[in-house]
Amino acid sequence: MKLFNLPLLINLILSSTIACMQIEKPSKGEEVLKILEKEFKSDNLNLKVFILNSYGCPVCNKSYAKYMLTTQAKNRVFYISDNGEFLKQEELQDLSVKIIHDYQNIFIRNRIIEAGPAFINVVDNRVDTIMHIVAERFQEQIKYIDSLHCVSY
């Protein structure tokens, strides 16, 4: 009877154990919270995050930018990386909204959203909605955003 080589046996066991372990990637929601908690230095977030960049459909971006200027959503945050193409600095001056100039496109870079305008709703430190704004559903998506009990009257 031939004895196993002990180092070989240990290596085989460790290799099979490590291969069976799955490394769980954080969910998109967890990634969003990590980004927002770092930006706002808070772990108790209730935010309506409007994301505008220069990617995607120019008509969608222009319409979404116009909507962003008129919405009365509470706890609004604008992540803007469009270099003034769709929202001019003077249009933003009088708004009571947190504006983050995100020239690194952090949400796209971390594969949380696709290129183009997007909306993220955070309720009680939980990501409720991540929505890529698209031309075919623009009006429906805007109605949904308005329905999120985020409009102040």
Q: Which two tokens stand for residue 37?
A: 């908690």
pLDDT at 141 over 90: yes
**Can you list the domains of the chain with their CATH numbers?**
26-146 (3.40.30)
For 77-134, what is each residue's pLDDT tens digit?
888 887 767 877 777 777 778 888 888 888 888 888 888 899 999 998 899 999 999 9
Mean per-residue pLDDT over the chain, rounded = 80
Q: Is 149 left (phi over 0), alpha (psi -120 to 50) or beta?
A: left
In the chain the beta strands, taken as DSSP E runs, fall at 47-53, 76-81, 98-101, 118-123, 126-132
Task: Identify the pLDDT of residue 28.
Answer: 85
Task: Identify the pLDDT of residue 9.
Answer: 60
For 7-61, what is each residue's pLDDT tens digit?
666 665 655 555 445 555 668 888 888 888 888 877 778 889 999 988 888 888 8
Give the pTM: 0.77
Task: Identify the pLDDT of residue 122.
Answer: 92
CA distance 78 to 107: 12
Task: Identify the pLDDT of residue 138.
Answer: 93
Q: Indicate the pairing of strand 47-53 with strand 118-123.
A: antiparallel
Task: Identify the pLDDT of residue 49.
Answer: 92
Q: How far is CA 85 from CA 43, 56, 58, 117, in A?
A: 33, 13, 10, 13
* Cβ-defined contacts of 3-12 (< 8 Å, 24+): none
pLDDT at 151 over 50: no
Task: Identify the pLDDT of residue 72.
Answer: 79
